[in-house]
C-alpha cells in the first residue's frame, strides 16, 4: 500500500517531463500499451512508425479513448489504478478508483461509465469517470478479463478466465441476469456492431462461442486449424470485427497467426502470419488497417484489411498488450 502511495506522486512528477516530448504527428495514431515497459508506444498511422513513447503506471494493459478522444484511459494493473492521460501532452490528469489489479475495461456508450475487470479480485468495478467515484462492484467468476458492452448500452459482459463463463450484467441495475458457459479460459468478448450477437474467445478451448444477444442462446462455435501447427497452440485471444460486421480478425496467440473469419457464415477464410503471440488489436475506423500487438516478439504487425496481408512490422516496447486508435 505504501508503495502504491509513493507511485502516484512519482507519476505526477514525471508528467511535466513527458509534456516536453514533441507533440505527435497531426495524423491518426495507434496507442499501444507495453506491459513490461510501463510505457505506451504511439504509432503514426500514415508513416507506420513509432513517434513517441509515453511513460505510464505499472504493467499497463487495457487502453481506450473517451468518445471525443480528449482523454486516454489506461489500466495500470500493478499500480492498482486506471490512469486518465491527456493524449496531446502525455500528462497524467488523474487516477480513477479502479479496484485492485485492473486488467481490462470497456467504456459505456454514455462516455461516462467505465466497467473494469479486477483480475485478482473476482469483481468488476463500475466507475463514474466524471465524478471519479465507484458506482458498484459486481461479484463475478475467477479472473475476470473480457469486457464488452452492447451498442445500445443495456448489457455489459464480463468473462472469467478460470470459471470459463460469460456473465451478462444489466447496465442499469448492475445485476447479473445470465451466466453462459464457454470453452476453457475466455479472454475477450465483443458484440457485433448491430448488437445482435456476442462473440467470446476461449484461449485454451481454442474456439470462439457465438451467442444470440437477445436470448443468450449459443448459436455456434468457431474452431481453427492451421497446417503444421499443433492444435494445442492455436489459442484465440483478442479479436475485432469490421464496422459492417462482415469480417472478424482473431489473434491466435502462440500459433503466431491472425484468422480472418466470415462473420455471418462463422467460417474461417484465411490465416495471416504475424509476430509471436499476437494478443490484441485496433482497427482504423475506415476498416483499412489493422494493428496487432505481438506480445512475445515485442512488435506490432500492420495488416491491410482488404488485401488480408501483413504489410509491416513495427518494433514497440516489451510485451505489447492493448491497442487503441485516435484521430
Closest of 112, 113, 125, 41 to residue 80, by C-alpha = 125
Q: Which of 254, 275, 278, 317 touches other proteins (CB under 8 A)? A: 254
Number of residues that bind other proteins (CB under 8 A): 29
The stretch among 90-98, 107-115, 190-198, 225-233 that binds other proteins (CB under 8 A) is 225-233
Report, in Å, the least distance between residue 275 CB and other proteins: 17
Residue 276 near other proteins by CB under 8 A: no
Measured distance CA(307)–CA(323) in Å, rounded: 21
Per-residue b/e over 232-247, b at no fewer than 16 CB within 10 Å?
eebbbbbbbbbeebeb
Q: Looking at beta carbons only, is 187 or 326 nearer to other proteins?
A: 187
Q: Looking at beta carbons only, is 43 or 222 nearer to other proteins?
A: 222
Name the grid cell of 152: 445500445
The stretch among 30-38, 155-163, 217-225, 300-308 that binds other proteins (CB under 8 A) is 155-163
Residue 179 near other proteins by CB under 8 A: yes
Residue 143 near other proteins by CB under 8 A: yes
Residue 169 near other proteins by CB under 8 A: no
One DSSP character per residue, 66-135 reads -TTSS-EEEEEGGGTEEEEE-TTT--EEEEEP--SSEEEEEE-TTSSEEEEEETTTTEEEEEETTTTEEE
Report, in Å, the least distance between residue 266 CB and other proteins: 21
Measured distance CA(252)–CA(265) in Å, rounded: 19
The stretch among 6-14, 61-69, 149-157, 198-206 that binds other proteins (CB under 8 A) is 198-206
Q: Which of 88, 152, 232, 244 touches other proteins (CB under 8 A)? A: 232
Q: Which of 48, 134, 142, 310 touches other proteins (CB under 8 A)? A: 142
Q: Which of 21, 204, 218, 219 touches other proteins (CB under 8 A)? A: 204
Residue with cell 508513416: 47
Residue 80 near other proteins by CB under 8 A: no
Cβ atoms < 10 Å from Cβ of 307: 9
Closest of 98, 101, 55 to residue 78, by C-alpha = 101
8 Å CB contact between 252 and 261: no
The Cβ-side half-sphere exposure at 312, using a 13 Å CA radius, reads 15
Residue 167 near other proteins by CB under 8 A: yes
Report, in Å, the least distance between residue 167 CB and other proteins: 7
Closest of 177, 172, 169, 248 to residue 210, by C-alpha = 248
Residue 134 near other proteins by CB under 8 A: no
Residue 230 near other proteins by CB under 8 A: yes
Report, in Å, the least distance between residue 20 CB and other proteins: 35
Residue 35 near other proteins by CB under 8 A: no
Residue with cell 445500445: 152
Burial class of 1 by CB neighbour count within 10 A (0 to 12, 13 to 18, 19+) = exposed
Measured distance CA(241)–CA(6) in Å, rounded: 41
The stretch among 12-20, 23-31, 62-70, 179-187 that binds other proteins (CB under 8 A) is 179-187
Measured distance CA(142)–CA(182) in Å, rounded: 14
Residue 280 near other proteins by CB under 8 A: no
Q: Which residues bind other proteins (CB under 8 A)?
A: 119-120, 122, 139, 141-143, 160-165, 167, 175-176, 179, 181, 183-185, 203-206, 230, 232-233, 254
Amino acid at each position: 500500500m505504501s508503495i502504491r502511495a509513493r507511485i502516484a506522486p512519482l507519476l505526477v512528477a514525471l508528467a511535466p517531463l513527458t509534456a516536453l516530448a514533441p507533440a505527435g504527428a497531426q495524423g491518426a495514431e495507434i496507442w499501444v500499451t507495453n506491459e513490461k515497459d510501463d510505457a505506451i508506444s504511439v504509432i503514426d498511422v500514415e508513416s507506420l512508425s513509432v513517434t513517441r513513447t509515453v511513460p505510464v503506471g505499472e504493467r499497463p494493459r487495457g487502453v481506450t479513448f473517451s468518445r471525443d478522444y480528449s482523454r486516454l484511459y489506461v489500466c495500470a494493473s500493478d499500480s492498482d489504478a486506471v490512469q486518465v492521460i491527456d493524449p496531446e501532452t502525455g500528462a497524467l490528469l488523474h487516477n480513477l478508483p479502479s479496484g485492485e489489479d485492473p486488467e481490462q475495461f470497456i467504456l459505456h456508450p454514455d462516455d461516462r461509465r467505465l466497467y473494469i475487470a479486477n483480475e485478482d479480485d473476482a469483481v468488476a468495478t463500475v466507475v463514474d469517470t466524471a465524478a471519479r467515484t465507484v458506482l458498484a462492484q459486481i461479484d463475478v467468476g475467477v479472473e475476470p478479463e473480457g469486457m464488452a458492452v452492447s451498442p445500445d448500452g443495456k448489457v455489459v459482459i464480463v468473462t472469467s478466465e478460470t470459471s470459463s463463463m460469460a456473465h451478462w450484467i444489466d447496465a442499469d441495475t448492475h445485476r447479473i441476469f445470465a451466466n453462459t458457459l464457454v470453452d476453457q479460459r475466455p479472454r475477450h468478448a465483443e458484440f457485433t456492431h448491430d448488437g445482435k450477437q456476442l462473440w467470446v474467445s476461449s484461449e485454451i478451448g481454442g474456439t470462439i462461442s457465438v451467442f444470440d444477444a437477445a436470448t443468450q442462446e449459443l448459436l455456434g462455435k468457431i474452431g481453427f486449424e492451421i497446417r503444421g501447427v499443433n492444435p494445442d497452440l492455436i489459442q484465440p485471444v483478442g479479436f475485432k470485427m469490421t464496422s459492417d460486421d462482415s469480417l472478424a480478425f482473431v489473434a491466435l496467440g502462440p500459433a503466431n497467426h491472425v484468422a480472418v473469419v466470415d462473420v455471418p457464415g462463422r467460417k474461417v477464410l484465411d490465416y495471416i502470419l504475424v509476430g509471436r503471440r499476437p494478443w490484441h488489436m485496433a482497427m482504423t475506423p475506415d476498416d483499412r488497417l489493422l494493428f496487432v500487438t505481438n506480445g512475445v516478439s515485442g512488435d506490432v504487425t500492420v495488416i491491410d484489411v482488404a488485401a488480408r496481408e501483413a504489410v509491416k512490422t513495427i518494433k514497440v516496447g516489451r510485451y505489447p498488450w492493448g491497442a487503441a486508435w485516435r484521430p
